[in-house]
Amino acid sequence: MGKLVLIDGNSIAYRAFFALPLLTNSSGIYTNAVYGFTMMLLKVLEEEKPTHMLVAFDAGKTTFRHQDYQEYKGTRQKTPGELAEQIPLVREMLDAFGIRHYAIENYEADDIIGTLARAGSGKDLEVLIVSGDKDLLQLVNEQVNVLLTRKGVTETERYDRKAVADRYGLTPQQIIDLKGLMGDASDNIPGIPGVGEKTALKLLKQFPTVEEIVDHVSELPGKKLREKVETYRDQALLSKKLATIYTEVPLDLQLEDLLLAELDVNRIADFFRKVEFKTLLDRLKKFSGADEEETKTVCEEQDAIESVTVFGEEARDEWEPFLKQSGLALFVEMTGENPHHSDVIGLALSDGEKQLYIPIEEAMDWQAFREYLADGERHKVVYDVKKTSLALKRKELDVAGLSFDVLLAAYLLDPSESQMELNEIVKRAEAGYLPSDEEVYGKGAKRRQLQGEELEKHLARKARAIYQVYPVLDRQLQEAGLDALMFDLEMPLAAVLANMERHGVLVNRERLDELGVELKRSMDLLQEEIYELAGVPFNINSPKQLGEILFDKLGLPVIKKTKTGYSTSADVLEKLAPQHEIVEKILHYRQVGKLYSTYIEGLKKEIGSDGKIHTQFNQTVTATGRLSSTEPNLQNIPIRMEEGRRIRQIFIPSEPGWYMLSADYSQIELRVLAHISGDANLQKAFKEGKDIHTQTAMDVFGVAEDEVTSLMRRQAKAVNFGILYGISGYGLAQGLDIPQKEAREFIERYFETYPGVKKYMDSIIAQAKQEGYVTTLSGRRRYLPKIHSRNFGERSFAERTAMNTPIQGTAADIIKIAMVRLDRQIRERGLKGRMLLQVHDELILEVPESELPAMQELVRDVMEHALELSVPLVVDVNCGKNWYEAK
DNA sequence: CGCGTCACG
DNA sequence: ACGTACGTGACGCGT
């Protein structure tokens, strides 16, 4: 029996376009949709082994559906130009594969697919439909399955009758009824207003079709619902009709026309070369009969390393000219992930043709190499500059001229993909092929250290990949206007961070132990009391067991549920506190338990033999441009509650008589908002040095300063936070624990007071839709493909992100600029004090007593003038004998 | 290894 | 009707 695969061309191209970053090839042509489409196609060919195939496209703007309903797809946004221009290329690609594509006036791709699916199953073919559109599910039957894209283009979900039933509780035919009732915003199909998926499914459980539902209106539950169904009866029937795929399109092709011929690998390879899909050339192998000379050479060229030399003493003279070059790629291999606790194994260098592997002992013993490393004039390209320099400094090798980090470049080009592996970067840049670390090293327990030739070859391969990917990324950075951010900010910052990490923060071990004993005692006591009140001992840390005790045994009311059972989160427990004295004890136990396990035991494990903690500041993780901190995370040390705040007492200066100095920006994000929104009122408040939350309370509640109650200020503060996060009535209601209606009124009044902010929020969303990304003041980008999503939740999330990212990201830019400048100033002035930590809007330094006045002034000056905004930046500086006291 | 929870800005 | 506040990382539990 044969297999017919039918692809919804527009849908897949659209998915591919938004799933992949908007990358161009060297002639400036956008190719992301073609690339994604091709990936999907290769996957289907590989996994499904079809005998027949067709890709259906929509033809013109109007279809037979417009006769019934003129507004059909009336709200649909215009296809972005960057996508539209790729459609002819998609057709060209299909031609290269010898795959038929088809469009016909007056009908949509769906109808072509429907017609052929019926024809195919009539001819005893197994049929598989590939689309991103759930509507196609209506075509499912015993012979017809649907493959829906889930995330991106290559992650898919297969639907047969059972899968449709599991997901919707409906038969495939009823998908039409579902849409008839709930409508479809993206196609502008109205359905019944006020009926969503939930209500529609409920109705369809009662009666199987729209027709029967409207015929039995009187038997439906709820007066409102009956009225709605009654009023919109015809609209529902029309909607169903619109949603129904027409399966009798007059097609001028036969099933035989869709028969797949053997792939013409050369023709495909020509196309791939034309559009510069270098990595896809590799995958072609699987389809070719190995004797295809051309592709074979291309592929082998790409993954085989012929020339790797392992450095030995005898070769020293021979390799010295190699080291004279500037622009070599350098990769350093360590025994583990954490550069503070791992050892260096060896290094690999590449000039794109020759690769040299040097075991670390040899490297340290080779003078010419030491000179090469230390020479800032000879540039080195690396993957992860911070880790590389930490590794080399650990071996007391001087290093200079690490001038391009492909990891940082990849991050700036698309910060949504956190900590990209080298093979990912190479794949995206279409600059060759590299296996993933997981493939090479194995994962979990199977992870192993490579040895001998395997190690040498792999590192050589990595070094060469770095060399090859560098020019691509360098050009992409320039094209995106991200080069200044790269070379003037992130690269210099990496060096600053490396020094902070390497120096570490000294811990007062004695104080840590004291606090530990105290917390443990408190925990044991609370545990006893909780067991007593519960009448039975249980694991308080298990949400499952705790839920059973609170809600089953003690019968407390269930306020919120999670996927897996009762919610026992703090906000739920706070509401239950008045009902039973056990609740307060549990809250306290949780708090103390957290402090003990994360901050006492957790930090203890991280103290090194030098008595210090060396965190890692990750520069390529967050989507907004902030840093993150791991192993341990020193950016979330408690401060809000006094009990936890004392943890800060354990962090002390590393030299006797020195002080901890903390400098934090006051309201930096709201000031950034005032600047970028240009709102006159908000700017005025900051220029006059007002307490911003009090000012907001005065404006929003229309009262004088002395009439602002603490409740009003608290609520105004929550509104200000909400604004920064991309406000919604629901979110603010949650934050303040008030009805949504009230929250919406607050927001409305806020926007009346600060109309510039409202204007900014609207325009930034429009901009995100237009450009596909948003930027910070320094031009840092974040792509938001989901801003076009037809899924409300996804789209709303993208919109909030569009509002928040420029604010959070600009604040991140500002403190990063300050750090680079402060570091330079400290060195130029020959000061001994040094930066230790950064906590998003705060810098922590350790400083000798004699430098305190100068350093306070310097830090404040540098931080306040990192970027000149239309409102002043204000920095508070404090110092003390430990971090706790520097408040 | 995913989930719930909670620490921070 | 939809279903979230934005950005992170670490811990303990239980599959």
DSSP conformation class of A485: I
Residue with CA nearest to B8's C1' atom: A636
The answer to whether residue A290 scores a pLDDT higher than 60 is no
Same domain, A388 and A473: yes
A305: pLDDT strictly greater than 70: no
Question: For C6, which residue's CA is nearest its C1'?
Answer: A725
Q: Residue A140: CB partners within 8 Å, gap ≥ 6?
A: A146, A159, A160, A161, A164, A172
Report the distance separating Cα A625 and Cα A775, nearest Å. 11
pLDDT value, residue A445: 66
For residue A587, say whether its CB is under 7 Å from any atom of strand B: yes
Domain check: are A498 and A537 in the same one?
no
Measured distance CA(A459)–CA(A465) in Å, rounded:
10
Nucleotide nearest residue A735, measured CA to C1': C5
Q: What is the pLDDT of residues A590-624, one digit of tens each?
A: 999 999 999 999 999 999 999 999 999 999 999 99
Once rounded to an integer, what is the mean pLDDT over residues A507-530?
94
Instruction: Specify the number of domains making up chain A.
Output: 6
The letter for the amino acid at A878 is: N
Per-residue confidence (pLDDT) for residue A282, from 0 to 100: 65
Which residues 411-470 on A are within 7 A of strand C at the CB atom? Answer: 418
User: Mean pLDDT throughout A516-525?
Assistant: 94
Name the closest residue (CA) to the C1' of nucleotide B6: A594
A483 shares its domain with A372 = yes
**Preceding omega of A653 cis (within 30 degrees of 0):** no
Distance in angstroms (rounded) separating the CA atoms of residues A34 and A45: 16
Q: Give the CA-to-C1' distance from A288 to B2 in angstroms.
A: 41
Is the per-residue pLDDT at A833 higher than 50? yes
Quick one: A748 and A761 in the same domain? Answer: no
Residue type, A579: Q
Residue with tokens 């027709």: A211
CA→C1' distance for A793 and C5 (Å): 13
Q: What is the pLDDT of residues A343-390, one digit of tens each?
A: 999 999 999 988 999 999 999 999 999 999 999 999 999 999 999 999
pLDDT digits 0-9 by tens, A194-229: 888 778 888 888 888 888 888 888 888 888 888 888
Residue A637 lies inside a defined structural domain of this protein = no
Q: What is the pLDDT of residue A412?
A: 96
Question: Strand B: which of residues 637-696 in chain A lie with Cβ below 7 A?
Answer: 637-641, 644-645
pLDDT higher than 60, residue A298: no
Q: Is the pLDDT confidence value at A735 over 80? A: yes
Q: Is the CB of A577 within 7 Å of strand B?
A: no
Phi/psi zone of residue A432: left (φ > 0), alpha (ψ -120 to 50 degrees), beta? left
How distant is C1' of C14 from CA of A542, in Å?
9
The rounded mean pLDDT for chain A is: 89
What is the predicted pLDDT for the residue at A294? 39
The amino acid sitting at A676 is I
- Strand C, nucleotides < 7 Å from a protein CB: these are 1-14
Q: Quick check: A317 pLDDT over 90?
A: no
Instruction: Report the predicted TM-score, pTM, of the whole model to 2 decimal places.
Output: 0.70
pLDDT level of residue A291 (50, 70, 90 thresholds): very low
Contact A746, A719 (CB under 8 A): yes
Q: Which residue is nearest to nucleotide C8 (CA to C1')?
A: A628
Token pair for residue A447?
A: 């992870």
Question: Among residues A273, A298, A323, which one ends one of the domains?
Answer: A298
Residue nearest to nucleotide B1 (CA to C1'): A444
Q: How confident is the model at residue A306 (pLDDT cuts 50, 70, 90)?
A: low
Between A156 and A44, the higher pLDDT residue: A44
* Strand C close residues, chain A 533-552, CB < 7 angstroms: 539, 541-542, 544-545
Least confident of A23-27, A38-42, A119-123, A491-495: A23-27
**Ranges A5-9, A272-276, A850-854: which has the least confidence:** A272-276
What mean pLDDT comes out for the span A521-526? 93
In this predicted structure, what is the pLDDT of residue A21? 72
- For residue A299, pLDDT over 60 is answered with no
Q: Which protein residue has its CA closest to C1' of B9?
A: A840
- pLDDT, tens digit (0-9, with 9 covering 90-100), for A60-110: 777 888 888 888 877 676 777 888 889 989 999 999 999 999 999 888 899
Q: Is A619 inside any structural domain?
A: no
Task: Find the Å distance, CA of residue A114 to C1' of nucleotide C5.
Answer: 42
User: Could you check: is the Cβ of residue A373 within 7 Å of any atom of nucleic acid strand C?
Assistant: no
Residue type, A133: D
Look up the CATH number of the domain holding residue A763.
Answer: 3.30.70.370
CATH number of the domain where residue A42 is located: 3.40.50.1010
Alpha carbon distance A883, A885 (integer Å): 5
Are A594 and A672 in the same domain?
Answer: no
Residue-level pLDDT at A431: 85
Residue A673: the pLDDT is 96
pLDDT the model gives residue A222: 80
User: Are both A98 and A137 inside the same structural domain?
Assistant: yes
| Residue A674: Cβ-neighbour burial (10 angstroms; 0-12, 13-18, 19+) | buried
Residue type, A120: G
Res A831 pLDDT > 80:
yes
Protein-to-nucleotide distance from the CA of A633 to the C1' of C10, whole angstroms: 8
Same domain, A115 and A224: yes
> Among A263-277, A433-447, A491-505, whose mean pLDDT is lowest?
A433-447
The alpha-helical segments, DSSP class H, found in A276-307 are 278-283, 293-303
Show which of A753, A781, A799 is a domain's final residue. A753
A156 and A246 part of one domain: yes
Q: Which of A611, A738, A750 is nearest to A682 (CA)?
A: A750
Q: Lowest-confidence range among A109-113, A527-531, A728-732?
A: A728-732
CATH number for the domain harbouring residue A527: 1.20.1060.10
CA of A399 to C1' of C10 (A): 34
Does a structural domain hold residue A618?
no
Domain final residue, candidates A457, A477, A504: A504
For the ranges A291-295, A649-653, A711-715, which has the lowest average pLDDT?
Answer: A291-295
pLDDT attached to residue A587: 92
Residues of A (821-840) placing their beta carbon closer than 7 angstroms to any atom of strand C are 840
Is residue A84 within 8 Å of A218, Cβ to Cβ?
no
Question: Residue A250 falls within a domain, yes or no?
Answer: yes
In terms of domains, do A102 and A151 share one?
yes
Mean per-residue pLDDT, A333-344 = 92
DSSP A886: -
CATH of the domain at A354: 3.30.420.10
pLDDT band at A302 (very low <50, low <70, confident <90, very high): very low
Looking at the fold, whether A356 and A469 belong to one and the same domain comes out as yes
Q: Domain range holding A582? A: 514-613
Q: Which nucleotides of B are covered by protein (CB under 7 A)?
A: 1, 3-9
Q: Mean pLDDT over residues A284-303, rounded? A: 45
| A151 has a pLDDT exceeding 70 | no
pLDDT category, A285, cuts 50, 70, 90?
low
Which residues partner with A781 through β-bridges? A775
Q: Place A430 in a pLDDT band, splitting at 50, 70 and 90.
A: confident
Comparison of pLDDT for A443 and A484, the residue scoring more: A484
Same domain, A594 and A732: no
Nucleotide nearest to A635 (CA to C1'): B8
Quickly give A609 CA vs B4 C1' distance in Å: 35
Query: For A591 and C14, how far is CA from C1' in angstroms?
Result: 22
Name, of A36-50, A555-569, A757-771, the range with top average pLDDT: A757-771
DSSP-assigned states of every residue in A541-600: T-HHHHHIIIIIIS-PPP--B-SSSB---HHHHHHHGGG-HHHHHHHHHHHHHHIIIIII
Residue A276: its pLDDT value, please?
A: 83
Per DSSP, what are the bridge partners of residue A130? A7, A147
Q: Give the nucleotide nearest to A724 (CA→C1').
A: C6
Q: Examine residue A646 and state whether it is found in any structural domain, yes or no.
A: no
Residues 6+ apart with CB under 8 A from A67: none
Does some domain include residue A380? Answer: yes
- Between CA A568 and C1' B4 the distance (Å) reads 9
Query: Does some domain include residue A627?
Result: no
Q: Give CA separation, A585 vs A384, A523, A559, in Å.
A: 47, 10, 19
Give the closest nucleotide to A665 (alpha carbon vs C1'): B9
Residue A641, in any domain of the structure: no
Nucleic strand C contacts from chain A, 174-193, CB < 7 Å? 185
User: Residue A296's pLDDT band (boundaries 50, 70, 90)?
Assistant: very low
**Separation of CA A588 and C1' C13 in angstroms?**
19
Cβ-contact A267, A281 below 8 angstroms: no
Which token pair is A213? 């539902």
The residue-averaged pLDDT of A525-554 equals 92
Give the whole-angstrom CA distance, residue A597 versus residue A606: 13
Alpha carbons A174 and A201: distance in angstroms, whole number = 10
Q: 């060297």: which residue's tokens?
A: A26
pLDDT, tens digit, 9 for 90 and up, residues A655-685: 999 999 999 999 999 999 999 999 999 999 9
Residues A474 and A444 grouped into a single domain: yes
Q: What per-residue confidence (pLDDT) applies to A364?
A: 94
